[in-house]
Amino acid sequence: MTWQVLVHGPLARLDERVSRSLVDTVPRCLSELASDLGNMTVALPVLACAMAYAVWRGRRAAALYAGLAMAAVPLLVIPLKEWTARPGPLEPWAQGYYPSGHTATAAVAYFGAAFLVSNRLIPVAAVLTAVTGTGLILRGFHWPLDVFASLCLSLIVLAVSSSWQRSRSTCRSSARTATGCSGPS
């Protein structure tokens, strides 16, 4: 996807045609409300509450890794935005739309919160993330590829965070059984 955006290949051109046919197909107030779910002022408090709950339940490491995953979002998204310098659907003079920071924020915050509170909330996280991305596209704030790339990036961030958390808890349980754990803990 990134390569297609950089060279303005056929996938990027198709992406732009699809976007133009979708923008403003729903009332702007709805698409703006949906896209606002990816704002830091909305998504971060949800994650912060889930992190506080996890700490209260004795899952400090899980809360830490969720916070680190969220901190990784701007560290990954901002350089990609600078590198690709993709113009926006409604603002061709502006650059930095690929990938969508709002989508990445929503995905990492809502899925992170679901993992911390209850796996039964994963469908809610998926819906909130999908609504965010859809709102961004329908309002014309992002191209569909911007949103899809952010979802892919977010899945990687969440998978790495989850992997680190699992390896840490495996090491801790191995240490309790006196078998030890090789590698960082």
Q: Which two tokens stand for residue 12?
A: 């990027």
pLDDT of residue 133: 97
Structure confidence by residue, pLDDT tens digits, 86-145: 988 888 788 889 999 999 999 999 999 999 999 999 999 999 999 999 999 999 999 999
Query: What are 87's strand-pairing partners?
Result: 95
- Residue 119 in 3-state DSSP? helix
Q: Which two tokens stand for residue 47?
A: 């994650």
Mean pLDDT of 32-50: 96
Q: Where are the domains of the chain?
A: 27-174
| CA 175, chain centre distance (Å) | 33
